[in-house]
Structure 1
């Protein structure tokens, strides 16, 4: 990719048990090359700041590429020095919230070899999952981060995350024994990532990261009022290594 893009997104969450609950949230995400992050006029930078410290683990001053490659090496994967593209939200007026970020790791010939999904919760926790590439079949990963107060860290995700093109279409479903799947989707249409479009996004989705975090909290409160039980957990994450498998997309 030669330039960054913006996707005007619609995020949906569908819960089927113990109550039926559905909500949509509109916002936007950036699709960027981690080695060529957007260069914006100084006056516009507070509305789109990219900070490597918002993702993965690492030392102060690390680049985003350094952190992604360190994550891969820790899991026995040779990064190969290829292009890494990412779908994520930038900081807006200093505020950051990335419920799901995705990184497509290419080899030196340009083929996507691995996909990394990083999930954040509203309490500041985050965890990244290494997935095989491709959109079908879906990729399976054991859940390791407590994202919702209504779920522990049991169960597994099925993730369908094809590399974005003119359209963005990502599905993440959570599966637990004897319960219907909880399904989240992120869909959107590609737009140029220039000054005019970013200004438009500030009008149609102002303070997008903060509004997304607020919407998540409102939905949690709504579910509590509907008497959905909160799962008590002594830990945000589980420490055992999660197996990664390929699973047929139809099993979602």
Structure 2
């Protein structure tokens, strides 16, 4: 998406919300900020944000894709092409957290792949866990469809096993962004996670403003994960040992027949 001012880079002030349903209820929310970046324009970033260089804020190619520092476009085009999606040189946008003072952790990064005519053709969800593993769910988006489902392939939380499946719902990143993920098993809903946010112009001023509000956003994310894990453990949540990562690094998601709202906390089911 291109904003009214012609920019594709953007900053989003967001709220993250998680609710666990079973075997007991547990919910939390917190504020963060994230970036939406055109991966072909990463050398055109406002300070203090840098690309592949040390800095107060940085975006590193080695944090995404093959995680070896290689360029991101060939990887995104390749994983989408393997699933029958061809971008033909169209734009690719990355939604993620930056590194702050050299530290970074992205539980979920999203690549949006567009055709030359600006139509959304595919999405790649890049999921990481705190053990350093990564798995990607690759999603063709015929007619801009942003409602998808897939069996769970990847160990994320030690308090859930590998059973069940995900339902994903996205909104196109414009003035607002919405990401909803439902995790269910045969017995019903297990977890819902959302991230909703409002767009701001990406500039030196907006970056310093975001840092003033949430100065160590990536540390806040990882600290929040471990703090909530401690509370789950104290409540008696069952611990599941980490299984071997899946052999396949990317899997194809399918269309979802169920509609999911993108209105943040109001979408939580009873």
Same fold (TM over 0.5): yes
Give distance in 2, aligned partners of 1:47 and 1:176. Answer: 42
2:166 is aligned to 157
The yes-or-no answer on 1:215 pairing with 2:224 is yes
The yes-or-no answer on 1:90 pairing with 2:79 is no
Are 1:137 and 1:249, in contact at CA under 8 Å, matched by a contact in 2? no
2:265 is aligned to none
Are residues 58 and 13 of structure 1, via their aligned partners in 2, closer, same or farther at CA, if it must alter by over 3 Å? closer
Structure 1 residue 179: Cα displacement: 3.7
Question: 79, 99, 111: which is aligned to 2:107?
Answer: 99
Where structure 2 has 5 or more consecutive residues not aligned to the other structure, the ranges are: 261-268
1:178 is aligned to 187
Give distance in 2, aligned partners of 1:71 and 1:136. Answer: 18
Q: CA RMSD in A?
A: 2.2
CA offset digits 1:25-77 (Å, max 9, x no partner): 21111011110125233x554232111111121654x2121221232234444
Question: 143, 150, 158: which is aligned to 2:152?
Answer: 143
Q: Aligned residues, how many?
A: 250
Q: TM-score, normalised by structure 2?
A: 0.85
**SS state of the match for residue 249, structure 1?**
coil
Where structure 1 has 5 or more consecutive residues not aligned to the other structure, the ranges are: none
Are 2:137 and 2:252, in contact at CA under 8 Å, matched by a contact in 1? no
Are 2:134 and 2:249, in contact at CA under 8 Å, matched by a contact in 1? no
CA offset digits 1:69-127 (Å, max 9, x no partner): 23223444433211111211111111111111111111122111111111111121111
Q: TM-score, normalised by structure 1?
A: 0.91
CA offset digits 1:123-152 (Å, max 9, x no partner): 211111111327766201222111101112
Give distance in 2, aligned partners of 1:238 and 1:179. Answer: 28
Are residues 242 and 83 of structure 1, via their aligned partners in 2, closer, same or farther at CA, if it must alter by over 3 Å? closer
After TM superposition, list the pairs within 5 Å mapping 1:102-141 onto structure 2: 102-133=110-141, 138-141=147-150
Give distance in 2, aligned partners of 1:39 and 1:99. Answer: 23
**SS state of the match for residue 88, structure 2?**
coil
